[in-house]
Chain A
Amino acid sequence: KNEVEQSPQNLTAQEGEFITINCSYSVGISALHWLQQHPGGGIVSLFMLSSGKKKHGRLIATINIQEKHSSLHITASHPRDSAVYICAAPPMDSNYQLIWGAGTKLIIKP
């Protein structure tokens, strides 16, 4: 069965803490996506990766293909990082679809 699971579902932390959000998938992948959904509802793509690690500002995404696991890290977290973080991966049998995780709701308190 094609599945993408995220943990934790909810995460509350203090400003400045190092944040880790996890994504496990059962599908074979060409690339795994991380996206951010702002409290206002807008969705933006953060990363697309198929191996190793990518970094953008305070955000770092890693993937372990053998273990079928990806993590999104946020360093020096800030209240403006509060959002829902979503991972998604394509199933083996489709070039046009993604399997979506349910999202991790992150709240950073000042």
Chain B
Amino acid sequence: NAGVTQTPKFQVLKTGQSMTLQCAQDMNHEYMSWYRQDPGMGLRLIHYSVGAGITDQGEVPNGYNVSRSTTEDFPLRLLSAAPSQTSVYFCASSLGGPPLYEQYFGPGTRLTVT
């Protein structure tokens, strides 16, 4: 099993550009989520999904869009990049909601917006 994979590992964008961060898992997990990690702060939840076709907003959803057309894939779209979106982004998956299930994390995407 590959676990949770993310692409790209690094990305530089100019303000106003759009892009999609890819996330895939091969563990048949129902729950998937996107976090951003900024220096000195805990992980912050952007969006999550409890199954194919179902998504919901987390703590910091503005400027981001998600969809879940399959169990395996959960892409994160930046609609119009801003310098405030410079961060490290992690995708995670678990069998069920993270309060009760172990989460598996992807390797992260380091995004810089200039």
Contacts and interface: CB of A to CB of B under 8 A. Distances in A.
Dominant secondary structure at the B interface: loop
A30 B43 contact: no
A95 B42 contact: no
Contact of A45 (B41, B100, B103, B108): B103
Given A41-B88, A103-B42, A97 B107 contact: no
Contacts of A90: 98-99
A82 B85 CA distance: 28
Chain A interface bracket (under 10, 10 to 19, 20 to 34, 35 or more)? 20 to 34
B102 to A, nearest CB: 5
Contacts of B45: 97-98
Interface string B87-111: 0101010000111111111011000
Given A4-B42, A43-B90, A90-B99, A96 B56 contact: yes
B89 to A, nearest CB: 11
Nearest to B109: A41
Interface string B33-46: 00000001111110
Interface in B15-39: 31
Interface residues of B, number: 26
A45 B48 contact: no
Contact of A42 (B43, B98, B107): B107
B43 A96 contact: no
Contacts of A31: 99-100
Interface string A69-110: 000000000000000001010100011111111110000000
A44 interface: yes
Select the residue from B56, B92, B97 with max chain A CB neighbours within 10 A: B97
Interface of B: 31, 40-45, 48, 50, 56, 58-59, 88, 90, 92, 97-105, 107-108
9 contacts: A33-B102, A41-B107, A88-B42, A90-B98, A95-B100, A96-B31, A97-B99, A99-B42, A102-B42
CB-based closest 3 A-B pairs: A100-B42, A90-B99, A43-B105
